[in-house]
Chain A
Amino acid sequence: MVSFKFIHAADLHLDSQFKGISELSEGIRSFLRESTFASLDRLVQLAISEQVDFLVISGDVYDAQDSSLQAQLRFHEALDRLGGQGIRAYIIHGNHDPLDSPRMKSGKKEHVHVFGPEFEQVVAIRRQDKRPAAVIGGISYPTSKVTENTSLHFRRNREESLFHIALLHANVDGDPAHETYSPCTRQDLIGSGYDYWALGHIHKRQVLHERPHIVYPGNIQGRSVRETGKKGCYVVQVNDIGEPNMEFHELDTVRWFQETIPIDGVEDEEAFQLLVEDRMQYIRNECPGKMSIVRFILTGRGSLHEKLEDGRIADELLHELQRRAVRSAVETSGFEGLVWVESFQVRSGPWVDRHALLKEDSFLGELLRFAQQTREEGNSRSELLRSALNPLTSNRELSRLLSGIDEEEKTLWLNRAEEMAIHLLSGHQEGKGDKEIDEA
């Protein structure tokens, strides 16, 4: 065996969009668009500076449905740069960029190997002395939907002593957050005899197993609030007795955060704003050289909730912060240390004793009891939601959007609706009749 070094990256999703983000300025939008490419550049730079022998990419280089020319061009450019340094690249195609999707075929590149729809194995050599370093097996998605367990094709030849690397785009153990393409189990992989499973498809970085290593490096650039935290790739150093040593390297240009702010005890808007700004400063300190996008989730119960619900202080603050971000992006430090607030998710409630309300013989009490009952009962719950959301389904776009919304979010809506009802109906409950007359 020879020692060698390679990079394992996956799910580049070049030129894909940032989800759930709006009110961007032109400059920030361009910056975001450029971010996946910037991360790719960083990947190439890393490969060059680490002097790796080769690079493996486990699928989803780009989103075929967008058929972005830019993505293709930039990817080829990056490959050319690697080729210029003599670094080879081994690539499989995943569900987002299957082989049947439009691809640019700009001539055969000597240093790039793209695996076909059938399983194949190639021998990778060490850059410095051209000695065979590893056997790389891989299989690409011929179409976007592969439901077959392709991991079963990977079988190690027992006589072969070289380090074995498997490239697979698959959902191991059926992660429900992702589409279950190429379903397989951890056991399948362990049983194959491969030393390193370079997986793709799941965007969250995770090492499922060691010896053999089963690794999801995650994507190189988070694109939605579901992809928070550091994003990058693994530099894997395999020593001469075939032990891999992984080192994670950040590559992301824009980092996502999700921050929870409990509003309990927050007196007023100023305090709230200070709290938010404080949190933003914290994020800025966390990753000073990058742009950050944060979603604030407001939880807890407090007097502030009424203001959040009633007035539009969250919206106003959001706009203000976004406006500031736009300005600072244009002005001084550019995008470094820029914190973009994606949204405020209000999950807080008014300061009321919910349990007392539940027991109360009042309209509100009745309502809450009804809501609770509905939430627990699947049928009536979906019936309620259906009738409530019915008007939205008349629009094609909206109904498509609704269909993409999961139960969890719908539950959140239901909760919010309850809080809103409490807010609307209990706000003046303790007031005398006369007061109410005044209000009318």
Chain B
Amino acid sequence: MRLERLYIHGFGRIKEREIHFNAPISMLAGPNEAGKSTILMFVRAMLYGIPGRMYPTERYEPPGGGSHGGVLVAEAADGSKWTVTRYASSEQRSGSGRGERLSIVKTEAQGVAIERTQNELEQELLGGMTRDMFNQLFAVTLTELQEIRTLQSDEMSSYLFHAGFGGGGEIVRAERKLTQHMEKLYKPRGRVQESAKILLRMEQLQREIAESRSYLSKYMTAESNLEDTQQKIAEAEKCKTDVNRQLVVVHKAQEIRTQWLEWKEASMERGAISGEIPFPAEGLPRWERLREELNRIDLRLEELERASEDWNNRLKELRTDEQLISQGPIIERLSSRREYMEMRMKELQELSGEEAALTQQLQRLLLQIHPGWGISHLRAFSGAVSERETVRRYSAGFAEYDRRMEGLALEREQRHRQLETAEYELSHAENALRERKEAGKERFHIFIPQTKAELLPIWQELQSEAERWREFRLKRSSAMEQEQRDALINGRMKALYGKLLWACAVLTVIFPAALWFMNTPWGAVAALLVFVIADVLLWRGSQALTDKNRHSRRTRGRLTQEISETGEERLSRLMTSLISDPLTAAASAGHRLREFPIPEEDMESALRGLRKLVDAYLLWQEELERSKSEAAEARQRAELLRRELSDLIRKMDGEESTFAELDSQWQFWLAERGLAEGCSPETVMDMFGFAEQGMELVRRLDALERKQESLRQEIEAYENECLLLLAEQETQGIHVISRLELRRQAWEEQQVLLRKKEAVSSKLEPIQEEILRLNGERNRSSKMMQSLLDEAQAADEETFLRMGTLAGRRTELDRMIRQLEVAMFSGWPDEQRRVLEDMLERHDNTALDDACYRAEEDLAQAEKRWNELQQQRGRLLQEKDQLVGLCSHDTALQQLEEQKSMLKDIAAEYAVLSICSELITRTRGIYEQEKQPQVLKLASTYFHELTRGNYRRIVMKLGEKKLLAEHHDGSLIDSSQLSRGTAEQLYLAMRFALAGSMNSSLSIPLILDDLFVNFDEERMCSALDLVGRLASDRQIVLLTCHRYMSDQVRKRLSEAEIIPI
């Protein structure tokens, strides 16, 4: 890259300044404030953007305002030209926003211009160099030159290293990374590292393991202890059993001591009783029982004898009536029927009452039928169906007659009324005819023809004549109207023709003239001719009209006269032939016929009157005819009715005779039955009903009779029976039934007596039986007592009793001894029994107690010991089990192994890292000693040159970011301790070296702002020489305010151009 042209539109104090760079080295020389630094800043700003308002010192805003910015043109290495136009936007922008107007155009060597962005500019033109790097390396002011001392920029330092040996930064980073990793893994006395955690866990596990390692020995101890304990337990058990056995004996002895004493005593007493005594088993109680039995029987017997006697006496006291007893059942039967009989009697009474009532009712019925009738009549009167049928037939005959008679009478009445009406109508019709005739004659006498037939032809003729007359009149009047109309039309036409004629004439003159004038003489002539002809025609038209008018007016006058004359005459003639009397005609037809011949208008009205008259006449004639026919009709009808009436009367007479016959037959029938003559069949029908009722009553009466008879018989039989029973009793007028009742009561008393007697004898019977049984028993007991005495060989009862007592005592003693022995020694073998007996013999009560106490104490001790041993055994067993359980789930060792493994992994990792780190460190040492970076080498030569051999080389401490200068005497001096000028020379050398080691294809220009001010002349000269050499690789721009600088440049660097500012 090479700067070609700067156009500063406004930047700092500089305005509208254009600078061209033509040589590889350009020196911009000018006094202070000429704007050298401004130009440097301008280049920076053009390439990397104008700094924002946040950095006012770098922004270089024109103090007076106005445009802020400019244009930079540079040539890239490939020959393309880059034009950067950049202006800070004038308006205020908020914050750090760097508002600027930017246009970057890349014009390639072929002349193609392309718009580029800032980013592309930095990448392509500046090789991706950052702003800082550019500031520090290429566009350098004196202040920035110093900055390399601190090597603040990481970028720079790594670059520095990289240029030397394959990534100095990488080495530092690698070391850092390794250290970080290592520290994460392990740190002596670290607490948070993974290894520390594992170590902690291991310690813990080891403690656990120490515990679990003791299990085996514990188990073994427990086992040997257990064996001991088992043995001891066995011993204790034995001891316990011995003591226990002894204690049992003592206890037993104590327990049975009293019993033993008793036993001893009984044994001795038993020894005293000797010899056999023949005494029956259970002899004494048996004797006792028998004696008691005997006494009881005697006592009982005595008691029974007494009771028997008592009962016998009581039985004798009770007396009974034998007869009554024999009658008892009959009395009972009768008295049981008594109530029934009483009911029967009452029924009988009721029946007789009913009979009386029925008889009375029958009498009443008979009276209703006929007063003379009795029951025999009634019985004779058969209510047969045939009889009823006969009566019904008679009744029907009478009823039919009545109906027919009634119908005939009604018809007769009707005919009679009709006849009367017909006759009235007849007279009325005749009267009307007469009156109408009279009225007509009087009204129409004026007519000459008398009849209708005569009148009609005349009238018709008159009418036709009148028609003709009217027609004529009509023609006449229309002709007159025509005439008037024609005259009017002709007048109008004439006026029209006149106007046309005038117009035509004017045209005739003007048109041809016009044509003439228009150079068409022939046309004019023709037109003239045409118009003349038209004029002529029009004129003639108007003339013709006048003629026609005149002619029509003439013809009309003649027509009217003649026709009217003849018509009127004829009419008048006919009228007269029709009407006889003009006077009457005048009266009827008004003023029309008064004058004759009548004028035209009158004729018309006369005709109208006449017509009215004739019409009236014709109407009248018609009515007259109708009246006549009506009268004739009425007469005919009257005649017919009269005939019908006489027929009816004949029929009624016939009916009357048949009725009389029937009636006589009926009267005969009644007499035959002995019934009242006046009875109608209907009454007889009723009688049938009564008779039937009567018959019913008779039947019921018969039934009652029969029932009464049977009841009466029954009562009688009952009474007879009672009397038979009560024959021997006195009859004091008391009714049989009452007596029976008394008898029954006596019987009942007797029955009570009988029952008592029975009860007494029933009690007596068992007593006697008992007496018998007891006597038997008594004998048996006595016999048994005797046998007992015999068995005991006892003479009497007293001996027997004594012997009995002795035998009893002996048995008792035997039993006692046996019982005691069982109680004392049951379950004890003989051997032990002897020990026991021996003990009892030898120890008294206190001694026994003592022995017992001792034995108990021994036992308690033995037992205590045994228990203790058992507990110990339990504990040991439990411990063993516990140990087994514990060890079966113990994985601490394995866990420890795992932790160890993890620790080992960590250790291995750490070791690898550490070895790696160590390797790097050592290699670095070698490197620092033997190999310095390429940059430093280059810088060293530059430095050597600049210091004119005073210093040999620049040394960099790896990782420490420190530059050292090696003096030619071999000593190393830290850059900060160098003199200012030397230090600056060192930095300049570094800068040149770095710039040189940068990618050379881009060869970014160096812009150095008065860097040599602190150099002495010699060193400045060497610096310039160096610059001169560097300029072969890149463009160099020097800025200075010192004349001697420009002089030296001019002298030493022939290719340089000096641009004064």
A residues apposed to B, CB below 8 Å: 15, 17-24, 26, 29-30, 32-33, 66-70, 72-73, 102, 104-106, 343, 362-364, 366-367, 370-371, 374, 384-385, 387-389, 391-392, 394-395, 397-398, 401-402, 405, 409-410, 413-414, 416-418, 420-421, 424-429, 433-434, 436-437, 440
Q: Kindly state the separation between the CA atoms of A401 and B905 in the bound complex, as whole angstroms.
A: 11
The reply to whether B167 and A370 contact each other, CB–CB distance below 8 Å, is no
Q: Kindly state the separation between the CA atoms of A67 and B215 in the bound complex, as whole angstroms.
A: 8
Per a CB cutoff under 8 Å, which of B163, B169, B199 touches A440?
B169
Per a CB cutoff under 8 Å, which of A24, A69, A391 touches B883?
A69
Q: Kindly state the separation between the CA atoms of A429 and B931 in the bound complex, as whole angstroms.
A: 18
Q: Kindly state the separation between the CA atoms of A343 and B910 in the bound complex, as whole angstroms.
A: 16
Residues from chain A with a CB closer than 8 A to the CB of B163 are 433
A316 → B minimal CB distance (Å): 15
Q: Kindly state the separation between the CA atoms of A418 and B911 in the bound complex, as whole angstroms.
A: 12
Q: Kindly state the separation between the CA atoms of A111 and B441 in the bound complex, as whole angstroms.
A: 193
Q: Kindly state the separation between the CA atoms of A102 and B195 in the bound complex, as whole angstroms.
A: 34
The reply to whether A68 and B898 contact each other, CB–CB distance below 8 Å, is no
Q: Mark B214-253, 1 if CB is under 8 A from A, else 0.
A: 0111011001000000000000000000000000000000
Residues from chain B with a CB closer than 8 A to the CB of A401 are 900, 903-904, 907
Per a CB cutoff under 8 Å, which of B128, B216, B894 touches A102?
B216
Contact A384/B918 with A102-B217, A437-B155 known, Cβ cut-off 8 Å: yes
The reply to whether A424 and B916 contact each other, CB–CB distance below 8 Å, is yes
A-B pairs with beta carbons under 8 Å apart, 11 shown = A17-B894, A19-B900, A33-B891, A67-B217, A70-B887, A104-B219, A363-B923, A374-B919, A388-B911, A417-B911, A425-B171
Q: Kindly state the separation between the CA atoms of A374 and B130 in the bound complex, as whole angstroms.
A: 43
Residues from chain A with a CB closer than 8 A to the CB of B178 are 424
A406 → B minimal CB distance (Å): 12
A361 → B minimal CB distance (Å): 8
Q: Kindly state the separation between the CA atoms of A437 and B155 in the bound complex, as whole angstroms.
A: 6
Residues from chain A with a CB closer than 8 A to the CB of B701 are none
Residues from chain A with a CB closer than 8 A to the CB of B188 are 391, 394-395
Query: Would you call B839 an interface residue if the criterion is a C-beta within 8 Å of the partner chain's C-beta atoms?
Result: no
Q: Kindly state the separation between the CA atoms of A394 and B165 in the bound complex, as whole angstroms.
A: 36
Q: Mark B895-929, 1 if CB is under 8 A from A, else 0.
A: 11111111111011011111111111011101100
The reply to whether A343 and B905 contact each other, CB–CB distance below 8 Å, is yes
Per a CB cutoff under 8 Å, which of B130, B173, B915 touches A414?
B915
B residues apposed to A, CB below 8 Å: 127-128, 130, 154-155, 158-159, 162-163, 165-167, 169-171, 173-174, 177-178, 186-189, 195, 199, 202, 209, 212-213, 215-217, 219-220, 223, 883-884, 887-891, 893-905, 907-908, 910-920, 922-924, 926-927, 931, 999
Q: Kindly state the separation between the CA atoms of A433 and B926 in the bound complex, as whole angstroms.
A: 24
Per a CB cutoff under 8 Å, which of A367, A391, A425 touches B186?
A391
Residues from chain B with a CB closer than 8 A to the CB of A413 are 908, 911-912, 915
Return the chain B residue nearest A386 by Cβ.
B918
Contact A436/B898 with A69-B219, A363-B927 known, Cβ cut-off 8 Å: no
Residues from chain A with a CB closer than 8 A to the CB of B899 are 22
Besides A33-B891, A72-B219, A436-B169, 8 other A-B contacts (C-beta < 8 A): A15-B893, A17-B897, A22-B901, A364-B166, A366-B931, A398-B199, A398-B907, A416-B915
A360 → B minimal CB distance (Å): 8
A45 → B minimal CB distance (Å): 20
Residues from chain A with a CB closer than 8 A to the CB of B219 are 69, 72, 104
Contact A392/B186 with A362-B165, A363-B166 known, Cβ cut-off 8 Å: yes
Contact A421/B919 with A22-B902, A433-B159 known, Cβ cut-off 8 Å: yes
Residues from chain B with a CB closer than 8 A to the CB of A420 are 912-913, 916
Residues from chain B with a CB closer than 8 A to the CB of A343 are 905
Residues from chain A with a CB closer than 8 A to the CB of B911 are 385, 388-389, 392, 410, 413, 417
Residues from chain B with a CB closer than 8 A to the CB of A371 are 919
The reply to whether A367 and B923 contact each other, CB–CB distance below 8 Å, is yes
Residues from chain B with a CB closer than 8 A to the CB of A384 are 915, 918-919, 922
Residues from chain B with a CB closer than 8 A to the CB of A67 are 213, 215-217
Q: Kindly state the separation between the CA atoms of A90 and B802 in the bound complex, as whole angstroms.
A: 98
The reply to whether A434 and B195 contact each other, CB–CB distance below 8 Å, is no
The reply to whether A421 and B916 contact each other, CB–CB distance below 8 Å, is yes
B902 → A minimal CB distance (Å): 5
Return the chain A residue nearest B203 by Cβ.
A397
- State the 7 A-B residue pairs at the shortest beta-carbon distance, nearest first: A417-B915, A17-B897, A424-B174, A417-B916, A367-B923, A388-B914, A362-B166
B135 → A minimal CB distance (Å): 15
B154 → A minimal CB distance (Å): 5
B165 → A minimal CB distance (Å): 5
Q: Kindly state the separation between the CA atoms of A380 and B894 in the bound complex, as whole angstroms.
A: 38
Query: B interface, by DSSP: helix, strand, loop or mixed?
Result: helix
Residues from chain A with a CB closer than 8 A to the CB of B914 are 388-389, 391-392, 417
Residue of B169, B900, B931 with most chain A CB atoms under a 10 A cut-off: B900
Contact A73/B887 with A367-B919, A436-B158 known, Cβ cut-off 8 Å: yes
Return the chain B residue nearest A415 by Cβ.
B912
Residues from chain A with a CB closer than 8 A to the CB of B165 are 362-363
Residues from chain A with a CB closer than 8 A to the CB of B167 are 363, 425, 428-429, 436
Residues from chain B with a CB closer than 8 A to the CB of A19 are 897, 900-901
Residues from chain A with a CB closer than 8 A to the CB of B174 are 421, 424-425
Residues from chain B with a CB closer than 8 A to the CB of A421 are 174, 916, 919-920
Residues from chain A with a CB closer than 8 A to the CB of B887 are 68-70, 73
Residues from chain A with a CB closer than 8 A to the CB of B212 are 68-69
The reply to whether B890 and A70 contact each other, CB–CB distance below 8 Å, is yes
The reply to whether B923 and A395 contact each other, CB–CB distance below 8 Å, is no
Q: Kindly state the separation between the CA atoms of A229 and B742 in the bound complex, as whole angstroms.
A: 144
Residue of B216, B890, B931 with most chain A CB atoms under a 10 A cut-off: B216
The reply to whether A69 and B215 contact each other, CB–CB distance below 8 Å, is yes
A340 → B minimal CB distance (Å): 12
The reply to whether B920 and A428 contact each other, CB–CB distance below 8 Å, is no
A84 → B minimal CB distance (Å): 20
Residues from chain A with a CB closer than 8 A to the CB of B170 are 424-425, 427-428, 436
Residues from chain A with a CB closer than 8 A to the CB of B169 are 436, 440
Residues from chain B with a CB closer than 8 A to the CB of A410 are 911
B179 → A minimal CB distance (Å): 11
The reply to whether A366 and B927 contact each other, CB–CB distance below 8 Å, is yes
Residues from chain A with a CB closer than 8 A to the CB of B166 are 362-364, 425-426, 429
The reply to whether A385 and B894 contact each other, CB–CB distance below 8 Å, is no
The reply to whether A102 and B220 contact each other, CB–CB distance below 8 Å, is yes
Return the chain A residue nearest B912 by Cβ.
A416
The reply to whether B923 and A366 contact each other, CB–CB distance below 8 Å, is yes
Residues from chain A with a CB closer than 8 A to the CB of B923 are 363, 366-367, 370
The reply to whether A22 and B919 contact each other, CB–CB distance below 8 Å, is no
The reply to whether A66 and B128 contact each other, CB–CB distance below 8 Å, is no
Return the chain B residue nearest A72 by Cβ.
B216
Residues from chain A with a CB closer than 8 A to the CB of B915 are 384-385, 388, 413-414, 416-417
Q: Kindly state the separation between the CA atoms of A33 and B888 in the bound complex, as whole angstroms.
A: 10
Q: Kindly state the separation between the CA atoms of A397 and B900 in the bound complex, as whole angstroms.
A: 9
A373 → B minimal CB distance (Å): 11
The reply to whether A417 and B901 contact each other, CB–CB distance below 8 Å, is no
Residues from chain B with a CB closer than 8 A to the CB of A22 are 898-899, 901-902, 905
Residues from chain A with a CB closer than 8 A to the CB of B177 are 424
A304 → B minimal CB distance (Å): 18
Residues from chain B with a CB closer than 8 A to the CB of A405 are 904, 907
Residue of B127, B189, B919 with most chain A CB atoms under a 10 A cut-off: B919
Residues from chain A with a CB closer than 8 A to the CB of B901 are 19-22
A41 → B minimal CB distance (Å): 15
Residues from chain B with a CB closer than 8 A to the CB of A385 are 911, 915
A37 → B minimal CB distance (Å): 10
Residues from chain A with a CB closer than 8 A to the CB of B186 are 391-392, 395, 398
B931 → A minimal CB distance (Å): 8
B964 → A minimal CB distance (Å): 20
Return the chain A residue nearest B155 by Cβ.
A437
Q: Kindly state the separation between the CA atoms of A385 and B916 in the bound complex, as whole angstroms.
A: 10
A293 → B minimal CB distance (Å): 12
